[in-house]
Amino acid sequence: VPLKGWTRRCTVSCAALDAMMPAWIVLSAVPGLKAEGDGMEELATEKEAEESHRQDSVNLLTFILLLTLTILTIWLFKHRRVRFLHETGLAMIYGLLVGVILRYGIPATSYHNKTPPSCSLKEGPVSTLLLNVSGKFYEYTLKGEINSREIHNVEQNDMLRKVTFDPEVFFNILLPPIIFHAGYSLKKRHFFRNLGSIITYAFLGTAISCFVIGNLMYGVVKLMQVAGQLTDKFYYTDCLFFGAIISATDPVTVLAIFNELHADGDLYALLFGESVMNDAVAIVLSSSIVAYQPSGANTHMFDASAFFKSVGIFLGIFSGSFVMGAATGVVTFTKLHCFPLLETALFFLMSWSTFLLAEACGFTGVVAVLFCGITQAHYTYNNLSEESTKRTKQLFEVLHFLAENFIFSYMGLALFTFQNHIFSPLFIFGAFIAIFIGRAFNIYPLSFLLNLGRRHKIKGNFQHMMMFAGLRGAMAFALAIRDTATYARQMMFTTTLLIVFFTVWVFGGGTTPMLSWLHISCSCFLSTFLLCCRVGVDPDQDQQPCGDNFQSKTKQESAWLFRLWYTFDHNYLKPILTHSGPPLTSTLPSCCGPLANCLTSPQAYENQEQLRDHDCDLMRNDGDMTFTFGDTAITANGAVNGKKQGSTSEEALEHDLDSREQELLSHGTRLVFPIEDHI
Amino acid sequence: VPLKGWTRRCTVSCAALDAMMPAWIVLSAVPGLKAEGDGMEELATEKEAEESHRQDSVNLLTFILLLTLTILTIWLFKHRRVRFLHETGLAMIYGLLVGVILRYGIPATSYHNKTPPSCSLKEGPVSTLLLNVSGKFYEYTLKGEINSREIHNVEQNDMLRKVTFDPEVFFNILLPPIIFHAGYSLKKRHFFRNLGSIITYAFLGTAISCFVIGNLMYGVVKLMQVAGQLTDKFYYTDCLFFGAIISATDPVTVLAIFNELHADGDLYALLFGESVMNDAVAIVLSSSIVAYQPSGANTHMFDASAFFKSVGIFLGIFSGSFVMGAATGVVTFTKLHCFPLLETALFFLMSWSTFLLAEACGFTGVVAVLFCGITQAHYTYNNLSEESTKRTKQLFEVLHFLAENFIFSYMGLALFTFQNHIFSPLFIFGAFIAIFIGRAFNIYPLSFLLNLGRRHKIKGNFQHMMMFAGLRGAMAFALAIRDTATYARQMMFTTTLLIVFFTVWVFGGGTTPMLSWLHISCSCFLSTFLLCCRVGVDPDQDQQPCGDNFQSKTKQESAWLFRLWYTFDHNYLKPILTHSGPPLTSTLPSCCGPLANCLTSPQAYENQEQLRDHDCDLMRNDGDMTFTFGDTAITANGAVNGKKQGSTSEEALEHDLDSREQELLSHGTRLVFPIEDHI
């Protein structure tokens, strides 16, 4: 073939597609080969490349249209106030439908239906291979091992292979914005008030759940072995790994309904905080278990030294990622008030660089991004201009929304398009039982222990609700799809997929009846007024601790450790790291006067004046991003349904809010009319 | 090597990096190979993979920190009101510095310094190759041809190769948001008033420029051949291709300064419109020239039939992309007013699907995205909720900002890290001369012709300014880097890079002196008050044509063709496609009453009332996104400096605006104080 120049212009948009789905694009990125002499053959290659590229665009377009359809249906549901099916459940259903069509509807007319040529080497697989074709060298990169079964798949199911993503896309493109958004929107009083319980559930609870599920599944596997249903190896560490990936809860559906119904703030904080934290725990736990595996000759049995090594790795990775995320979060306070665009861009870049920095240091990027988000919400957020707080929230909200719906659509699709499913009824049944038992061992004993120390007890109906809200979602899926090479992992993947479907549809859909059955009160009256125009509003807006009023509340509600931390944070960290809070000159002892003067910004003095003048009101209003009345409503609701033990200051607050609520109702009626016009 | 399972968990974030830089990641994505038995060797592979992944993270981190540094310096410059160096020029300087460090500062300690093994095949290169290592099959994908020189480069300059992107990244990830943003922010009266002139400059002017430069460069190449400085082939079509890629102007620096100084609105519209449109023209022109090449035996000589075929391809691709973009732009009008998040997500997805749809149909995605942006700004924008108009603007603004600065940083970097530069002084000198002559042949004769028909003549000093503002930027670079395989293309790439540097630094920096030298007036007085807090504001906000007032203006200013189009658009298209504009019932003849009733939304009637009540005021205020006073100021400026020939309605407007300006000054002084506090 007389080819002179190799053009880099492979096909017009393969790189854009690459960005989304490296695995299946690289496969088909047959590069355009530029003509120098004549060449029928090379024209054919060009044509094939063009055709392949067109096919890729069509495939990606399918996903986009799937998302578009989901959004339109979500809108319809929100509009008609349908609550039994959440957007993520919907995305999965559409994904399933498209998966069925791709699998059974489209004839296997693949343009790439010849078995690729092979060549032999004696050495092991290398990352880069040179191919010598009549004196010209071509560079090839390793994609992976394929077994003989899959060589035929290359022929037959090119289309299905094409809609299969590289699993790393989930971990490195789709999860970080979701996790960051979760951390960034975590700023609220209820969260910090329940921090101890949340950490207990997330760390201890997830570890318990992991081991309970792991051991139960090991029993199931032994049973399968006896029943002769196991056709390949399934080790104890595999069971533990399954326990780790399936312990990451994701009650996004439940929380969306909590938002709409304005269910109890503490319960919301417990569930949300737990699900955010245990994602991080599950990642680190699963990689520790993987690291535990190849530690000796008898790899898959219990080994104390290897176990402690794993625990060490767990603690090392976790604390490293935590410190890294928190440090970057603290560093990124900006003084670019005047330029919201620059601020937003800088904020985005710093969050991303946290991810990369953690990866570069060998820690877990996703965990670092989570703590970066939490820290930024706590400190950096106060330094941003009002405009930038809106922009950053909205930017990450859109990214989060798209990524989440994409993952759930893809889950639906994967049930039919994934090539190596292993459906084992016994394993699946066992797993369903195991996750319930694991969840129960997490919630009930820990709640009992926590209640010994808590002033506000976690009541029985709250515990049942937490038990019920143990849905599995994006993180479990991402961890399961990350490695589907062995028999055990393929079975886990299939089972995880089914668990996600079941929990999201059944538990997600059953949230509203369950709430009323458990007598967990909601301010449904208010919520009907706010149902429209609520998607953009985050009801967990920061009801920021403000001034002395807050400190008195903290004293009552929190343990001494957190009281200590709060005082330190409020008096020293916030003034140094942000422009909010009291000036250091008033919180530091007088002997440190010069130092305090030096560290305090002029704005802090201004803030102090404002703090004295307006106290809470000022702070409460700065959090809302979308609709002013939205914030008022939520605050109102917090007071109406919060079941707080009224102190004097709280009663005053409540009174204030009641009057706001009245005000809101007049807003509310005005709000409803344009909706009716739409219908 | 006893490898059992091939894990998909290659290295933790390679896919995320893949998204950014497919070229150099795929190279180093040595997959982790999971242990099943023992294996020192495979542990070494795992370690190498981890090391490689860490290195990748560090490289990407370098780019992120580069951008962060650029943003911080931009902030400093804005703060100190430095105008001689624009952010893009700055990004290039930082890129250059990092390039120098990478090239000369870091010792070539590559972890991947063994020459890859090679194997032989008799057939031509295939996209997928199977490698048989002792019975196991591994899949490899084609990356490209490398010549013998580059095989050594694989050994030596792994680090430099790593920071070299796949050129398609520019075309498919970085350009679309930039181009879409340009189209989306194009909505303004000045643009549509000058539409005829803009189209003339963009289409006819770019074609003239392309042919003038192409022919001049052919002369230069012949000269080089005589002088013996040409070491490889350089065809006439290559020269034409160079003419096409270098004809895409990008006066982003100039326009930023125009914004700050509030230079003449018509001049701004002419420059901005031309640069946006000629990007599209240059893309299509260059691909038509490439398509023209392999059309016969005597490929590189003039061939009339091939020429007309190219023209046909040009028209086909262009009109196809145009229709596709415009159609999607019109389709995406939404009724999701209540849910800004859904609206924004849908808007984003629809814009992206336009790109994919065009690619899937064989048209040019970037061109389709441009027209999609323009149409969406004209129609869809009016249907979005107020919240969503802000969100979409801000989302694309951030994407545009990051992408643009990234491209310019990378340009600086590429000067030192790109491996195949060919510096030919004669060619470079010739190119500099040619682009000036080409630009002159574009601007002066066309301005003369346009002035014959224009009511507002394009004055001499405006023509000189347009001549001066012919900077080259992102598009020229992206087109040049797309194909750097042959000798000719490598020389073009080097030359293009130097032309971009020179024009951005020298012409960009010289804009302010040039404006005053040419006596083009600016409202610098006003601008000092608005210098801070202006980055986020787009001064070209839609001063939307409103009601009868606008129509009278249009009649005076535009040719009959555009008058006709405007009337049609205003009376029929806008009412059908958006909720703004007069209801159809009042614009259609009475015989079409039932049809009109059917097509008119209830909101249109409301709008009509509002239109009558507030006339222009209402419309003018709905455009601004960031600061209310920003909009006022810009509107004020438009009237003060617009050099319009006052009709009665315009004088009234001007009076109105003068009073606003007074108001603004009081705002302005209030505004300045907090800035001083910052310093």
Residue from A236, A254, A253 nearest A298 by CA: A236
Predicted confidence (pLDDT) at residue B499 exceeds the cutoff of 90 = yes
Counting residues of chain A whose pLDDT is more than 90, the rounded percentage is: 10
Predicted confidence (pLDDT) at residue A644 exceeds the cutoff of 50 = no
Residues in CB range of B286: below 8 A, 6 or more apart: B241, B244, B245, B479
Q: What is the pLDDT of residues A590-617, one digit of tens each?
A: 666 666 666 655 555 555 544 443 333 3
Q: Is A124 on the interface with B (CB under 8 A)?
A: yes
Q: Which of A43, A79, A143 sits opposite B140 (nearest CB)?
A: A143
Q: Specify the DSSP class assigned to residue B591.
A: G
User: What angle do the packed helices B474-481 and B236-246 form, to 10 degrees?
Assistant: 150
Q: Which of A117, A345, A483 sits opposite B126 (nearest CB)?
A: A117
Distance from B208 to chain A by nearest Cα, in Å? 26
Residue A651 has a pLDDT of 42
Residue from B197, B164, B205, B193 nearest B63 by CA: B164
Residue A116 has a pLDDT of 63
Measured between CA atoms, the residue of chain A closest to residue B47 is A362
Measured between CA atoms, the residue of chain A closest to residue B297 is A38
Residue B441 has a pLDDT of 92
Higher pLDDT, A468 or A544: A468
- Mean pLDDT over the full length of chain B: 70
Residues in CB range of A212: below 8 A, 6 or more apart: A243, A434, A437, A438, A441
Report the residue of A47, A114, A137, A148 to disrupt the B interface, i.e. the one with the largest count of B CBs within 10 Å. Answer: A137
Any idea which residue has 């004020």 for tokens?
B636
CB B82 within 8 A of CB B43: no
Higher pLDDT, B117 or A390: A390
Q: Is A119 on the interface with B (CB under 8 A)?
A: yes
Residues in CB range of A500: below 8 A, 6 or more apart: A92, A411, A471, A472, A473, A476, A477
* Phi, psi torsion values for A525, nearest 5 degrees: -60, -50
Predicted confidence (pLDDT) at residue B77 exceeds the cutoff of 90 = no
Which of A191-195, A659-663, B318-322 comes out lowest in average pLDDT? A659-663
Q: What is the pLDDT of residues B2-18, one digit of tens each?
A: 332 333 323 223 333 33
* Phi, psi torsion values for B129, nearest 5 degrees: -125, 140
Q: Is A29 on the interface with B (CB under 8 A)?
A: yes
Q: Is A41 on the interface with B (CB under 8 A)?
A: yes
Grade residue A49 by pLDDT with cuts at 50, 70 and 90: low
Cβ of B132 within 8 Å of Cβ of A121? The answer is yes
The C-alpha atoms of residue A404 and residue A475 are separated, in whole angstroms, by 10
Helix (H) or strand (E) holding A351: helix A340-360
Q: What is the pLDDT of residues B265-292, one digit of tens each?
A: 788 888 888 888 888 888 888 888 877 6
Token pair for B407: 């491209």
Cβ of A119 within 8 Å of Cβ of B118? The answer is no
Q: Is B366 on the interface with A (CB under 8 A)?
A: no
What is the bridge-based pairing of β-strands A136-146 and A128-133? antiparallel
Q: Is A395 on the interface with B (CB under 8 A)?
A: yes
Cβ of B3 within 8 Å of Cβ of A138? The answer is no
Token pair for B87: 């952010």
Average pLDDT of the residues in B111-129: 63
Q: Is A486 on the interface with B (CB under 8 A)?
A: yes
Which of B3-17, B318-332, B553-567 comes out lowest in average pLDDT? B3-17
Distance of CA A167 to the CA centre of its chain: 15
Q: Specify the DSSP class assigned to residue A102.
A: I
Distance from B74 to chain A by nearest Cα, in Å? 8
The C-alpha atoms of residue B611 and residue B200 are separated, in whole angstroms, by 34
Q: Which of B64, B123, B357 sits opposite A349 (nearest CB)?
A: B64
Residue B360 has a pLDDT of 83
Cβ of A146 within 8 Å of Cβ of B127? The answer is no
Residue A546 has a pLDDT of 38
Q: In Å, what is the CA distance from A548 to each residue of A567, A583, A642, B222?
A: 10, 14, 21, 83
Any idea which residue has 């230079």 for tokens?
B263
Distance from A467 to chain B by nearest Cα, in Å? 31
Residue B541 has a pLDDT of 41
Residue B169 has a pLDDT of 74
Surface-to-core class of residue A11, CB atoms within 10 Å of its CB (0-12 exposed, 13-18 middle, 19+ buried)? buried
Q: Specify the DSSP class assigned to residue B114.
A: S
Cβ of A677 within 8 Å of Cβ of B603? The answer is yes
Measured between CA atoms, the residue of chain B closest to residue A128 is B116
- Residue A568: Cβ within 10 Å count: 12
Q: Which of B16, B28, B356 sits opposite A173 (nearest CB)?
A: B16
Helix (H) or strand (E) holding B121: strand B118-121
Higher pLDDT, B52 or B516: B516
Q: In Å, what is the CA distance from B170 to each residue of A12, A16, A345, A373?
A: 11, 9, 19, 30
Predicted confidence (pLDDT) at residue A512 exceeds the cutoff of 50 = yes
Measured between CA atoms, the residue of chain B closest to residue A11 is B168
Predicted confidence (pLDDT) at residue B31 exceeds the cutoff of 70 = no
Q: What is the pTM of this model?
A: 0.73
Residue from A544, A615, A623, A580 nearest A189 by CA: A544
Predicted confidence (pLDDT) at residue B294 exceeds the cutoff of 80 = no
Predicted confidence (pLDDT) at residue B155 exceeds the cutoff of 50 = no
Residue A628 has a pLDDT of 30
Grade residue A381 by pLDDT with cuts at 50, 70 and 90: confident
* Phi, psi torsion values for B337, nearest 5 degrees: -40, -40
Measured between CA atoms, the residue of chain B closest to residue A122 is B133
Residue B650 has a pLDDT of 41
Angle A309-A310-A311 from CA coordinates, rounded to 5°: 90
Cβ of A143 within 8 Å of Cβ of B147? The answer is no
Surface-to-core class of residue A617, CB atoms within 10 Å of its CB (0-12 exposed, 13-18 middle, 19+ buried)? exposed
Residue A2 has a pLDDT of 31
Residue A147 has a pLDDT of 58
Grade residue B530 by pLDDT with cuts at 50, 70 and 90: very low
Q: Which of B15, B26, B602 sits opposite A169 (nearest CB)?
A: B15
CB A149 within 8 A of CB A490: no
Residue A429 has a pLDDT of 93
Residue from A580, A450, A544 nearest A553 by CA: A544
Please list every residue in chain B whose beta carbon sits closer than 8 Å to the beta carbon of residue A1. 124
* Alpha carbons within 13 A on the beta-carbon side of A154: 21
Cβ of A143 within 8 Å of Cβ of B141? The answer is yes
Residue B597 has a pLDDT of 64
Residue B118 bridge partners (DSSP): A130
Cβ of B57 within 8 Å of Cβ of A147? The answer is no
The C-alpha atoms of residue B306 and residue B293 are separated, in whole angstroms, by 8
Residue A550 has a pLDDT of 43
Higher pLDDT, B368 or B386: B368
Average pLDDT of the residues in A61-78: 84
Predicted confidence (pLDDT) at residue B512 exceeds the cutoff of 60 = yes
Cβ of B75 within 8 Å of Cβ of A336? The answer is yes
Q: Is A348 on the interface with B (CB under 8 A)?
A: yes
Q: Is B62 on the interface with A (CB under 8 A)?
A: no
Grade residue A76 by pLDDT with cuts at 50, 70 and 90: confident
Q: Is B140 on the interface with A (CB under 8 A)?
A: yes
Q: What is the pLDDT of residues A570-579, one digit of tens each?
A: 777 777 666 6
Residues in CB range of A240: below 8 A, 6 or more apart: A210, A211, A214, A289
Measured between CA atoms, the residue of chain B closest to residue A45 is B126
Which of A43-47, A403-407, B278-282 comes out lowest in average pLDDT? A43-47
Distance from B448 to chain A by nearest Cα, in Å? 38
Cβ of B535 within 8 Å of Cβ of A147? The answer is no
Residue A70 has a pLDDT of 86
The C-alpha atoms of residue B360 and residue B365 are separated, in whole angstroms, by 9
Cβ of B362 within 8 Å of Cβ of A50? The answer is yes
B36 φψ region: left (φ > 0), alpha (ψ -120 to 50), beta (else):
alpha
Predicted confidence (pLDDT) at residue A629 exceeds the cutoff of 70 = no
Residue from A50, A48, A58, A65 nearest A12 by CA: A50
Q: Which of B35, B128, B484 sits opposite A27 (nearest CB)?
A: B128
Q: Which of A10, A60, A145 sits opposite B136 (nearest CB)?
A: A145
Any idea which residue has 């102190």 for tokens?
A647
Average pLDDT of the residues in B624-651: 35
Higher pLDDT, B213 or A417: B213
Predicted confidence (pLDDT) at residue A38 exceeds the cutoff of 60 = no
Q: Which of A16, A133, A146 sits opposite B173 (nearest CB)?
A: A16
Any idea which residue has 């990125």 for tokens?
A29
Token pair for B406: 């990234």
Q: Which of residues 416-475 of B touch A (CB under 8 A)?
A: none
Residue A249 bridge partners (DSSP): A472
Distance from B454 to chain A by nearest Cα, in Å? 38
| Range ranked top by mean pLDDT from A286-290, B136-140, B626-630 | A286-290
Distance from B112 to chain A by nearest Cα, in Å? 10
Residue B511 has a pLDDT of 83
Average pLDDT of the residues in B197-210: 90
Residue B146 bridge partners (DSSP): A137
The C-alpha atoms of residue B237 and residue B431 are separated, in whole angstroms, by 16
The C-alpha atoms of residue B95 and residue B407 are separated, in whole angstroms, by 10
Q: Is A671 on the interface with B (CB under 8 A)?
A: no
Which of A500-509, B191-200, B492-501 comes out lowest in average pLDDT? B191-200
Q: Which of residues 584-643 of A touch B (CB under 8 A)?
A: 602-603, 626
Q: Give CA torsion, residues A303, A306, A311, A316, to 10 deg.
A: 180
Average pLDDT of the residues in B112-135: 66
Residue A294 has a pLDDT of 53
Please list every residue in chain A whose beta carbon sits closer than 8 Å to the beta carbon of residue B173. 15-16, 19
3-state secondary structure of B421: coil
Residue A586 has a pLDDT of 67
Which DSSP string do the residues of A284-322 spell out, in sequence order? HHHHHHHHHTTSSSSTTS--HHHHHHHHHHHHHHHHHHH
Grade residue A206 by pLDDT with cuts at 50, 70 and 90: very high
Higher pLDDT, A672 or B484: B484
Q: In Å, what is the CA distance from B96 to each residue of A584, B408, B418, B498, B510?
A: 43, 10, 12, 12, 21
Predicted confidence (pLDDT) at residue A53 exceeds the cutoff of 90 = no
Q: Is B172 on the interface with A (CB under 8 A)?
A: yes
Which of A308-317, B62-71, B625-634 comes out lowest in average pLDDT? B625-634
What is the bridge-based pairing of β-strands A118-121 and A136-146? unpaired
Report the residue of B3, B8, B579 to disrupt the A interface, i.e. the one with the largest count of A CBs within 10 Å. Answer: B8
Predicted confidence (pLDDT) at residue A462 exceeds the cutoff of 80 = yes
Higher pLDDT, B389 or B590: B389
Q: Specify the DSSP class assigned to residue A2.
A: -
Higher pLDDT, A437 or B188: A437
Measured on CA atoms in the order A154, A160, A161, A162, is the torsion positive or negative? positive
